[in-house]
Amino acid sequence: MKEFKTESKRILDLMINSIYTNKEIFLRELISNASDAIDKLHFASLTDSKIDSDFKITITLDKQARKLTVSDNGIGMNLDDLEKNLGTIASSGTLAFKKENEDVKELIGQFGVGFYSAFMVAKKIEVLSKAYGSEDAYLWVSEGEDGYDVVKSEKESYGTDITVYLKDNEEGVDYDAYVQQYFVSDLVKKYSDYIRYPIVMDMTKSRKKEGSDEYEEYTEQETLNSMVPVWKKQKSEISDEDYNNFYATTFYDFEKPLRHVHANIEGNVSYTALLYFPAKAPMDFYSREFKKGLSLYCNGVLIMEKCEDLLPDYFGFVRGVVDSSDLSLNISREILQQDRQLKAIAVSLEKKIVSELKKMLEDDRENYEKLFAEFGATIKFGAYNNYGAKKDELKDLLVFTSGKEKKQITLAEYVKNMQEGQSVIYYACGENVDKIDGMAQVERVKSKGFDVLYLKDNVDEFVLKTLDKYDDKAFKSVSDKDLDIGTDEEKQEMEDTAVSNKDLTDFIKEALGNKVSSVALAKLGAHPVCLSYEGEVSLEMEKVFKAMKTASPMPVEAKKVLQINADHAILSKMRDLFNTDHETLKKYANMLYVQAMLTEGFEVDDMSGYFASVCELMTK
Ligand code: ADP
């Protein structure tokens, strides 16, 4: 007996002891594997006439032995395949166990532990398989956690038979149902109707005996599924449940997608697309391992499982299938990349996705915001990548938090609600809404009735810089020293105050040295000081570059401006000290600087000096 790999053991354990109520999905998983196995051979059969093209999946029920068998005449597995595929779980599965309390539903959802799900209903599973082109057949047997055996065996033709020996009935779970022909045929119709190969089963029926009143039983093989792939059906024939079922089985994501798009495009290039916007990013979505792509079919025949070229990176989250009769079947992958038709489809798909996302913004805002929370980062990436080559297409898909309303708004909505006399779009960067709310400059801008976009992602400011303008309105950071708000009178007054305090601000600048590039007065409401910047590099950019930790030859630093509130008592206090006690004034200047830095989320080198000053003040 061989042991399962540790991870597989734990998945098995979860399956065997699963209280997951939807145990019936195991059948769909086995059928889907069978269909994949046939797909692999089907593709080869296009160029190899030796392959029997009578592809099918056969279900056999045995009431006495309480067993159900799913057979296929697909590619089959050799000894090595059996060990590798059924002895271990796909490596991505290992990730799952970082989370101790993974729920089975999620597990199946994220990793499609397809084959193993049969252990939800089985006390023993046998897999008899013969690989196409091989002489030998092997039998793999397992009764669950203890492990499995593989022995040499006999099988007439290539393909795989998977036999599930049902568990004993338990309270509330009637495993016998899985050998009842009508129950099983309903399951096939419910979950596997679109499978492209016939799923056949012997059905026992009764009929009147000829020339007599008696009834007799007879057996007839029936094809249970319609075999029409969902995307080939009329939209009116497909329910949301059908769409979602197809999604779940094809992409192993059991969370309902946020939206599906079923489009028949006729034009330069004709194709059918069934696209889904998932509710959750897969675990590896933001890693290098993630592979985007849509399944590509030519007239219902799969030519590529994940065709990357159909999706731009920033729509990499979209899942789905594309079926076109304008593509050649025997095309190789290398040639496919150059294919003009394929490029035309990609261009058209991108447009379709953009328009569908815009529609979603209009008619299903709640789900759009969910989608943006999951995938907004890639859309933003699309907007600033390549010097903003795609910014015009993507700018209307962006949403940011409105400081006024505390909800997500688009740039168009911001502009629509601009106040009279407002000429720019204000934004503020910070870690979270509370912190941004607490910024002096934010309060000030809001006090004028202007809304402020709250930018919480590192990349947000780069995105706005790349857009440069929206609807001819420039973007303006509230931390920009030249915020330039207020009436002409107010501005004049500020200027006068600045002139009469120039000796003081010069002194403070001198005291702070090159920690700041200048010191200025401003109106800051209740806040004594704040930090702003002048020049090209914003405070946020400095933080982003620092966080990247890549040794850049020239540190990217903002030219910081310490702004002191002209209306605050602290100013007259400093004024007094300027006339009486320069040493204390220097200390206070430094304390205010530290406060401003900390409020902005910067680190300060000499914290102990600051604490000493605070204590000194407290004990005075
Ligand atoms: P998944 O289907 O998600 O890869 P499974 O655990 O369901 O995961 O199956 C593991 C692997 O075992 C499959 O990828 C496939 O290579 C192989 N396999 C399963 N069932 C069959 C089958 N009926 N015929 C051939 N290979 C199969």
Which is it for strands 199-208 and 57-62: parallel, antiparallel or unpaired?
parallel
Placement of tokens 């206090």 in the chain = 573
Reported as a single tens digit per residue, the pLDDT across 419-429 is 988 999 999 99
Ligand 1 atom index nearest CA of 89: 6
What pLDDT does residue 352 have? 96
Q: How high is the mean pLDDT of the chain?
A: 89
Encoded tokens for 221: 């093989």
Encoded tokens for 235: 């939209």
| CA dihedral (216, 222, 224, 230) positive or negative | negative
Which is it for strands 122-130 and 137-142: parallel, antiparallel or unpaired?
antiparallel
Categorize the per-residue pLDDT at 93 as very low, low, confident or very high, splitting at 50, 70 and 90: very low
What pLDDT does residue 73 have? 96
pLDDT at 109 over 60: no
pLDDT at 21 over 70: no
Nearest to 161 by CA among 14, 37, 268: 37
Q: Does 109 sit in the ligand 1 pocket, CB within 6 Å?
A: no
Which residues on neighbouring strands pair with residue 153, listed in sequence order?
Answer: 137
* 357 within 8 A of 317, measured Cβ to Cβ: no
Q: Which long-range contacts (CB under 8 A, 24 or more apart) does 580-587 make?
A: 582/507, 585/507, 585/508, 585/511, 586/511, 587/613, 587/616
Placement of tokens 């990730």 in the chain = 95
Placement of tokens 């009935």 in the chain = 169
Q: Does 160 sit in the ligand 1 pocket, CB within 6 Å?
A: yes
> CA-to-CA distance for 28 and 230, rounded, in angstroms?
16
> CA-to-CA distance for 485 and 483, rounded, in angstroms?
6
Average pLDDT over residues 83-97: 59
**Ligand 1 centroid to 460 CA: how many Å?**
42
Categorize the per-residue pLDDT at 95 as very low, low, confident or very high, splitting at 50, 70 and 90: very low
Alpha helices in 411-559 (DSSP H): 411-416, 433-437, 440-447, 460-467, 488-500, 502-512, 539-548
Cα–Cα separations (whole angstroms), residue 135 to 43, 129, 131, 139, 379:
21, 11, 8, 14, 52
> CA-to-CA distance for 486 and 118, rounded, in angstroms?
70
> CA-to-CA distance for 384 and 366, rounded, in angstroms?
25
Average pLDDT over residues 89-99: 44
Encoded tokens for 469: 């303008």
Q: Does 37 sit in the ligand 1 pocket, CB within 6 Å?
A: yes
Categorize the per-residue pLDDT at 19 as very low, low, confident or very high, splitting at 50, 70 and 90: low
**Ligand 1 centroid to 115 CA: how many Å?**
7
Which is it for strands 137-142 and 57-62: parallel, antiparallel or unpaired?
unpaired
Reported as a single tens digit per residue, the pLDDT across 168-192 is 998 888 999 999 999 999 999 888 8
Categorize the per-residue pLDDT at 97 as very low, low, confident or very high, splitting at 50, 70 and 90: very low
Sequence-ordered list of residues with C-beta below 8 angstroms from that of 525, at least 6 positions apart, any chain:
440, 443, 444, 447, 565
What pLDDT does residue 433 have? 95
What pLDDT does residue 589 have? 95
Reported as a single tens digit per residue, the pLDDT across 214-248 is 989 999 999 999 888 889 999 999 999 889 988 98
pTM for this prediction: 0.72
* 310 within 8 A of 322, measured Cβ to Cβ: yes
**Ligand 1 centroid to 181 CA: how many Å?**
25
CB atoms inside a 10 Å sphere around CB 407: 11
Helix (H) or strand (E) segment spanning residue 561: strand 559-565
What pLDDT does residue 96 have? 42
| pLDDT cut 70: percent of the chain above it | 92
**Ligand 1 centroid to 85 CA: how many Å?**
6
Lowest mean pLDDT among 107-121, 349-363, 582-596: 107-121
pLDDT at 512 over 90: yes
Lowest mean pLDDT among 70-84, 118-132, 240-254, 378-392: 240-254
> CA-to-CA distance for 304 and 269, rounded, in angstroms?
18
**Ligand 1 centroid to 202 CA: how many Å?**
25
Ligand 1 atom index nearest CA of 40: 25
| Best mutation site among 85, 88, 89, 150 for ligand 1 pocket (most ligand atoms within 8 Å of CB) | 85
What pLDDT does residue 486 have? 80
Alpha helices in 163-261 (DSSP H): 181-192, 240-251
* 485 within 8 A of 405, measured Cβ to Cβ: no
Higher pLDDT, 155 or 484: 155
**Ligand 1 centroid to 243 CA: how many Å?**
24
What pLDDT does residue 92 have? 41
What pLDDT does residue 172 have? 83
How many angstroms separate the most distant Cα atoms in the chain?
Answer: 126
The percent of the chain in helix, strand and coil, each rounded to the nearest 5, is: 45, 20, 35
Output the residue whose Cα is nearest ligand 1's atom 19.
Answer: 33
pLDDT at 99 over 70: no
Cα–Cα separations (whole angstroms), residue 289 to 91, 127, 284, 438:
12, 31, 7, 40
Output the residue whose Cα is nearest ligand 1's atom 14.
Answer: 85
What pLDDT does residue 305 have? 81
Q: Does 376 sit in the ligand 1 pocket, CB within 6 Å?
A: no
Output the residue whose Cα is nearest ligand 1's atom 16.
Answer: 85
Reported as a single tens digit per residue, the pLDDT across 285-324 is 988 889 999 998 887 777 788 899 999 999 999 999 999 9
| pLDDT cut 90: percent of the chain above it | 63
Sequence-ordered list of residues with C-beta below 8 angstroms from that of 230, at least 6 positions apart, any chain:
194, 238, 242, 243, 246, 274
**Ligand 1 centroid to 548 CA: how many Å?**
41
Placement of tokens 């209009």 in the chain = 362
* 397 within 8 A of 365, measured Cβ to Cβ: no
Categorize the per-residue pLDDT at 1 as very low, low, confident or very high, splitting at 50, 70 and 90: confident
Q: Does 77 sit in the ligand 1 pocket, CB within 6 Å?
A: yes
pLDDT at 3 over 80: yes
Higher pLDDT, 217 or 332: 217
Reported as a single tens digit per residue, the pLDDT across 594-613 is 999 998 889 898 899 899 99
Output the residue whose Cα is nearest ligand 1's atom 3.
Answer: 112
| Identity of the residue numbered 104 | V
Which domains are present in the chain?
8-208+218-223 (3.30.565.10), 230-372 (3.30.230.80), 398-477 (3.40.50.11260), 489-533+555-618 (1.20.120.790)
Reported as a single tens digit per residue, the pLDDT across 156-173 is 999 999 999 999 998 888
Average pLDDT over residues 563-582: 94
Reported as a single tens digit per residue, the pLDDT across 407-461 is 999 999 999 999 988 999 999 999 899 999 999 999 999 999 999 999 999 889 9
pLDDT at 278 over 90: yes
Which residues on neighbouring strands pair with residue 163, listed in sequence order?
Answer: 69, 126
Q: Does 93 sit in the ligand 1 pocket, CB within 6 Å?
A: no
What pLDDT does residue 81 have? 93
pLDDT at 337 over 80: no
In this structure, what are the phi and psi dihedrals at residue 285, rounded to the nearest 5 degrees? -55, -45
What pLDDT does residue 334 have? 61
Encoded tokens for 253: 């994501």
> CA-to-CA distance for 273 and 307, rounded, in angstroms?
13
What pLDDT does residue 108 have? 53
| Best mutation site among 33, 72, 91 for ligand 1 pocket (most ligand atoms within 8 Å of CB) | 33
Output the residue whose Cα is nearest ligand 1's atom 15.
Answer: 85
Ligand 1 atom index nearest CA of 76: 25
Q: List the 199-208 sheet strands across, edge first.
A: 148-153, 137-142, 122-130, 159-166, 67-72, 57-62, 199-208, 215-223
* 275 within 8 A of 320, measured Cβ to Cβ: yes
Q: Does 34 sit in the ligand 1 pocket, CB within 6 Å?
A: yes
| Best mutation site among 5, 36, 69, 139 for ligand 1 pocket (most ligand atoms within 8 Å of CB) | 36
* 226 within 8 A of 193, measured Cβ to Cβ: yes
Half-sphere exposure of 474 (CA within 13 A, CB side): 5
Cα torsion for 193, 199, 200, 203, to the nearest 10°? -30
Nearest to 516 by CA among 595, 571, 454, 574: 595
DSSP letters along 303-349, please? EEEEEGGGS-GGGTT-EEEEE-TTS-TT--HHHHHH-HHHHHHHHHH
